[in-house]
Amino acid sequence: MTAKVIDGKAFAAKVRGQVAEHVAKLKADHGLVPGLAVVLVGEDPASQVYVGAKGKQTVEVGMNSYEHKLDAATSEADLLALIDKLNKDPKVNGILVQLPLPAHLNSDLVINSIDPAKDVDGFHISNVGLLGTGQKSMVPCTPLGCLMMLRDHHGSLAGMNAVVVGRSNIVGKPMAQLLLGDSCTVTIAHSKTRNLAEVCRSADILVAAVGRPEMITGEFVKPGATVIDVGINRIERDGKTKLVGDAHYESCAAVAGAITPVPGGVGPMTIACLLANTLTATCRANGLPEPKGLTA
Ligand code: GUN
């Protein structure tokens, strides 16, 4: 079998188009322009690229982007004071603090100081608790993007066996919660899981979010299963730098029914979902109906 390629780049463009349409309507009907504040502390090159892309796409869908670039030596008190200001600013509907933060800053404390209603990353402890108890929350962007692609490909996910490899707070754990919310039978696997390949072969939906290049090979895939590859790893091969996922693409694609490529799969969906979350937060803050198909 050769897997169908799930085109995350095209899907993300469609999501951004839907967000832009809603934003235009919010402006025309209510005079509202959603605003997203992104806070970057320090000069981590990868983070600078992400933050630049976020700002650009925010403006492209008609929202206001507020970028706050702070020195790497910024004190916790100064960062908390900025977040407090953003929490109180009615023009700001979404706040994202780019991770990782420099080591002298307590990430948990910083994230939990964001107003949960503006926490468009869904990392605040309140949103984590709401998601875990099946209540309305802000949902982390990467797993939300994976869920949207899975729903689009399969329709209902009810009764499917899902295995999530990876237990991070950003992807693995919220992904498992979302799949459970869609009535999958969910297993979370990780580096200590025994017989990992066998566990993965029980999956109708296999989500690879381990952060290890090409670790999931075709032997881990049940024939016809859907493989969602969350990994983005830079490796050197044949003297060139190459981007690869956590799944070994060729061997997995030979067995799977559908697969997301790297690049062009899950990656583009993350920012699209950040914009969707900012729109959702704006609607909720103003007592307006939420956009359909753009939330969990
Ligand atoms: N760093 C890597 N991924 C993310 C993300 O989804 N949100 C934030 N805030 N930082 C990140």
98-129 pLDDT per residue, tens: 999 999 999 999 999 999 999 999 999 999 99
Instruction: Give the torsion through C-alpha atoms of 212, 217, 221, 224, to 10 deg.
Output: 110
- Whether 96 lines ligand 1, by a CB cut-off of 6 Å, is yes
Q: Which atom of ligand 1 is nearest to the CA of 141?
A: 6
* Strand arrangement, sheet containing 35-41: 64-70, 35-41, 94-97
Which residue, judged by its Cα, is nearest atom 1 of ligand 1? Answer: 99
- How many Å lie between the centroid of ligand 1 and the Cα of residue 271? 10
Taking Cα atoms as reference points, which of 138, 221, 130, 225 lies closest to residue 184? 225
Which of 98, 175, 278 should be mutated for ligand 1, with most atoms under 8 A from CB? 98
Active site residue 89: no
Dist. CA 241 → ligand 1 center (Å): 23
Q: How far apart, in whole angstroms, are the C-alpha atoms of residue 98 and residue 70?
A: 11
Give the closest residue (by CA) to ligand 1 atom 4.
Answer: 99
State the Cα–Cα distance between residues 207 and 188, nearest whole angstrom. Answer: 10
DSSP 232: -
Share of the chain above pLDDT 70, in %: 100
- pLDDT value for 63: 98
The model's confidence at residue 174, banded by pLDDT at 50, 70 and 90, is very high
Whole-number pLDDT of residue 163:
99
What residues contact residue 238 under an 8 Å CB cut-off, 6+ apart? none
Domains of the chain: 30-115 (3.40.50.10860), 141-267 (3.40.50.720)
Q: What is the pLDDT of residue 27?
A: 98
Q: Mean per-residue pLDDT for 254-279?
A: 98
Nearest ligand 1 atom, CA 121: 7
- Ligand 1 within 6 A of CB of 170: yes
Among protein residues, the one whose CA lies closest to atom 3 of ligand 1: 99
* pLDDT tens readout for residues 176-197: 999 999 999 999 999 999 999 9
For residues 145 and 269, is the Cβ–Cβ distance under 8 A?
Answer: yes
Nearest CA to ligand 1 atom 2: 99
Q: Which of 57, 101, 121 is the pocket-test mutation for ligand 1 (most atoms within 8 Å of CB)?
A: 121
**274 close to ligand 1 (CB < 6 Angstrom):** no
Task: Indicate which residue of 57, 119, 121, 222 is catalytic.
Answer: 121
pLDDT averaged over the chain? 97
Check residue 34 and give its pLDDT: 98
Helices (H), 122-265: 125-132, 141-154, 172-181, 196-200, 249-253
pLDDT band at 255 (very low <50, low <70, confident <90, very high): very high
CA dihedral 153, 154, 157, 162 (to 10 degrees): -70
Contacts with 147 (C-beta within 8 Å, 6 or more apart), sequence order: 175, 178, 179, 182, 296
Buried b (16+ CB within 10 A) or exposed e, 268-288: bbbbbbbbbbbbbbbbbbeee
Ligand 1 atom with minimal separation from the 97 CA: 9
Percent of the chain with pLDDT over 90: 99
Cβ proximity of 35 and 289 under 8 Å: no
